[in-house]
Amino acid sequence: MSYLIEELIELPQDIIYLATNFTHYVKFDQQFYYTLGSIAFNPIFWNIAARLEYNTRILTKLSFGSPKLGCYVLAITIFSLGIYRDHVYQQLLLNQPTYLPFEESLIIKGLAGIVFGFGNILVLTSMYALGITGTYLGDYFGILMTERVTGFPFNINDNPMYNGSTLCFLGTALWYGKPIGIVISLFVYVMYKIALLFEEPFTAKIYAARDEELASKNV
């Protein structure tokens, strides 16, 4: 217990030291930029693929005319790209300098576990609430939900999957004591925010068109 108290007292000093010497613990090398590219590629890819499907139905046509099968194919592709992205991130962390006070701190380890765990809860529960087609852009395939999901975790966060994923990146960085991971986590957060600028208005447009069509049929 006394050890944890000592850690807690020293933690602000460690944070200040890291903040003032941050560049000593990061390497902006080729692997770093490749990791950024891998992270940026995913939301760019799925937004382009989804818009292409919406405008041309190309994935549906390639899936024997089945929108659901086309959505599943896209889901597998996005999921696989996410696994590769996480692998690239993990390899980057292993090759980057470690801030030993964080790696050896039980408090930081505990915080990392909480952040990573909560991030996973947000991701997994949002996937469960939305289902495969709701998670993986089924609305672009014409597979629309009957009503907006308002239960957990959407009742505490508007974008739990994106924010949960960001927390997983951050939790991993803290667990290994890798300052570069904090930079990467910030980049992930920014990329998701940019993605939402394209996704949210377009999704709203899709559902507005559906509601307008239903209203016209009921006249």
Report which of 117, 148, 156 is spatially closest to residue 130, judged by C-alpha positions. 148
Banded pLDDT at 193 (limits 50, 70, 90): very high
d(CA 212, CA 188) in angstroms, rounded, equals 36
Tens-place pLDDT, residues 39-57? 999 999 999 999 999 999 9
The DSSP output letter for 1 is: -
d(CA 178, CA 181) in angstroms, rounded, equals 6
Cα–Cα distances in angstroms (integers) from residue 14 to residues 20, 82, 137, 167, in the given order: 10, 33, 43, 22
pLDDT at residue 2 above 70? no
- Mean pLDDT over the full length of the chain: 93
CB distance 39 to 186 below 8 Å: no
Q: What is the dihedral of CA 60, 142, 43, 188, to 10 degrees?
A: -150
User: Residue holding tokens 């089924």?
Assistant: 138
Structure confidence at residue 4 (pLDDT): 66
3-class SS at 27?
coil
pLDDT at residue 218 above 90? no
Tens-place pLDDT, residues 82-128? 999 999 999 999 999 999 999 889 999 999 999 999 999 999 999 99
- The full set of domain ranges for the chain reads 2-217
The mean per-residue pLDDT over the stretch 193-205 comes to 94
- Provide Rg for the chain, Cα atoms: 21
Banded pLDDT at 10 (limits 50, 70, 90): confident
